[in-house]
Structure 1
């Protein structure tokens, strides 16, 4: 007989497995250090779609032999993950600084 506790345990295991499946792939495009909520997931998906659009535009510009436009798309495609990584590090740094400002009694 299946009890409620077993169902809850199966649900937790399923959530852990499903969370691990997309978080590793989308962590590059997340401005937050960890994908913890649906909002973070949506933002990461938006940035991933933007990156894909930039790469498809780059290939289309190369096909049409517009090399300057293609190089612009490549530069933007490189700057997108780099800027997201910088913003991630800034958030972590601010979070660490806030922890240090808290009194030890807390």
Structure 2
């Protein structure tokens, strides 16, 4: 009888842990994946390092971003380094 109670407590704790930590993290990852999938040329982005830039080319895993008013500052970076996307029309994701 005591083992059944211990197993029930462990099961309840596992479910609690899932809803507190794992589920919100998966939701956030899906949101980020959708944001990266909707990325288009001309969108303004914010990188993980805090730089703002404009997307000028997109490949499978790499995005070429133009930083600042100097049109010669074009840097390739991974899509995973993008934190925020602002569409060319002005809507923010």
Q: TM-score, normalised by structure 1?
A: 0.33
Q: TM-score, normalised by structure 2?
A: 0.37
Q: Determine which structure has the larger helix proportion and give its number.
A: 1
